């Protein structure tokens, strides 16, 4: 089962600052979570992220899983050292602290496997997973699928997605039932005036039209 974890506002710890650690940090950027990297050695990329206040760095020698003990409310622990035994101990300690855990070199002991993600403008995300069986094949298939998706998904699809989020938040106040809100949101996609505004890149005007439709929804549905 592929899930999209909501990491906003959560504490995430990456243990290890090598190639795998960097990969995990890159995947976390943009998730609005607090990222702490614990590592004895750090490359210039991670140090630059720290200078930009995008991550917090704890530079120390990792001897055992006790490094996690001083942290509270850890949502996710990613063990990415070059020591498999140490990674397993970190995973076990993280799990005992009720955190989600992942070992970069030991998927069977992890709570989840990493999917290969196609990310289009930070709005559309498509995941390809082999359930940890072959990350290499997942990446190869992602490259093939991404070429097709980038030709298929248009800018209007991206803008419609943004508009749907805007309209859904507004509809929560005006429309009480989930079923009726869904009908309203579908009506925006079918509204030719709104869709023409999106195709003409008149996004603000499309939002105004959506709000007008919402304000008159009780009359329109009759």
- pLDDT single digits (tens) 50-66: 999 999 999 999 989 99
86 pLDDT tier (thresholds 50, 70, 90): very high
165 pLDDT tier (thresholds 50, 70, 90): very high
Is the Cβ–Cβ distance between 57 and 37 less than 8 Å?
Answer: yes
Distance of CA 221 to the CA centre of its chain: 36
- Write down which residue in 112, 143, 178 finishes a domain: 112
The confidence score (pLDDT) of residue 14 equals 97
The DSSP string of 87-110 is: HHHHHHHHHHTT-EEEETT-GGGS
Residue 106 and residue 130 in one domain? no
The whole-angstrom separation of Cα 137 and Cα 203 is 39
pLDDT tens digits, one per residue of 191-204: 999 999 999 999 99
68 pLDDT tier (thresholds 50, 70, 90): very high
Which DSSP symbol is given to 216?
T
The confidence score (pLDDT) of residue 137 equals 92
116 pLDDT tier (thresholds 50, 70, 90): confident
Residue 15 and residue 108 in one domain? yes
- Mean per-residue pLDDT for 35-51? 93
Residue 63 and residue 105 in one domain? yes
Residue 91 and residue 119 in one domain? no
Residue 10 and residue 103 in one domain? yes
Q: What's the domain count of the chain? A: 3
Residue 76 and residue 183 in one domain? no
Residue 11 and residue 82 in one domain? yes
221 pLDDT tier (thresholds 50, 70, 90): low
Distance of CA 82 to the CA centre of its chain: 26
Element (H, E) at 194: helix 192-199
The yes-or-no verdict on residue 222 having pLDDT over 70 is no
The yes-or-no verdict on residue 220 having pLDDT over 80 is no
Q: Are strands 11-15 and 74-79 parallel, antiparallel or unpaired?
A: parallel
Domain region containing 205: 156-220
pTM, full prediction:
0.71
156 pLDDT tier (thresholds 50, 70, 90): very high
The yes-or-no verdict on residue 117 having pLDDT over 80 is yes
Question: When comparing pLDDT for 124 and 75, which is higher?
Answer: 75
The confidence score (pLDDT) of residue 1 equals 65
Which DSSP symbol is given to 18?
S
């Amino acid at each position: 089962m592929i899930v999209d974890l909501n990491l906003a506002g959560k504490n995430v710890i990456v243990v290890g600052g090598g190639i795998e650690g960097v990969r995990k940090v890159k995947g976390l950027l943009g998730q609005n979570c607090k990222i702490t990297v614990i590592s004895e050695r750090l490359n210039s990329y991670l140090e630059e992220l720290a200078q930009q206040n995008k991550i917090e760095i704890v530079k120390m020698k990792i001897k055992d899983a006790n490094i996690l003990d001083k942290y509270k409310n850890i949502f996710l622990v990613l063990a990415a050292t070059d020591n498999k035994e140490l990674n397993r101990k970190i995973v076990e300690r993280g799990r005992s602290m009720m955190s989600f855990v992942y070992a970069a070199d030991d998927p069977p002991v992890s709570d989840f496997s990493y999917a290969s993600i196609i990310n289009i403008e930070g709005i559309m995300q498509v995941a390809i997973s082999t359930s940890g069986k072959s990350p290499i094949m997942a990446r190869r298939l992602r490259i093939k699928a991404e070429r097709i998706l980038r030709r298929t998904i248009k800018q209007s699809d991206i803008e419609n997605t943004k508009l749907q989020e805007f309209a859904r938040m507004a509809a929560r106040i005006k429309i009480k039932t989930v079923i009726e809100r869904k009908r309203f949101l579908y009506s925006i996609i079918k509204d030719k005036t709104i869709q023409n505004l999106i195709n003409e890149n008149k996004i603000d005007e499309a939002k105004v039209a959506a709000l007008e439709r919402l304000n008159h929804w009780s009359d329109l549905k009759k």
